[in-house]
């Protein structure tokens, strides 16, 4: 499902315009991003949790030149599915 399909589905279920549904989706994604930027978790009961996982510095190999290089530490967003979501998918 693409973002535009998600917006269309939400508009149909909420009986609102696609423009309003788009604002809701964009506001939700922005709120999640801003919370993760602060280093905080976002928990949606029954659906799942968005969190940040920090990866340390590591040595990588450039596949083209086979040269070793140092990859700097970084933060990666992760999603952990909630119990209700897992149950729904595994029916």
pTM of the model: 0.78
Task: For the chain, count helices (H), then strands (E).
Answer: 3, 5
Instruction: Write phi, then psi, for 8 (nearest 5 degrees).
Output: -60, -40
Residue 21 neighbours by CB distance under 10 Å: 19
Q: Print pLDDT tens along the chain (91 aa).
A: 999 999 999 999 999 999 999 999 999 999 999 999 999 999 999 999 999 999 999 999 999 999 999 999 999 999 999 999 999 999 8
């Amino acid at each position: 499902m693409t973002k535009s399909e998600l917006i269309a589905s939400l508009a149909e279920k909420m009986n609102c315009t696609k423009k309003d549904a788009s604002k809701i989706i964009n506001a939700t994604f922005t709120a999640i991003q801003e919370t993760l930027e602060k280093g905080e978790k976002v928990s949606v009961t029954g659906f799942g949790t968005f969190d940040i996982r920090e990866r340390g510095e590591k040595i990588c190999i450039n596949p083209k030149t086979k040269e070793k290089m140092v990859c700097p530490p970084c933060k990666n967003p992760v999603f952990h599915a909630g119990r209700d979501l897992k149950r729904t998918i595994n029916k």
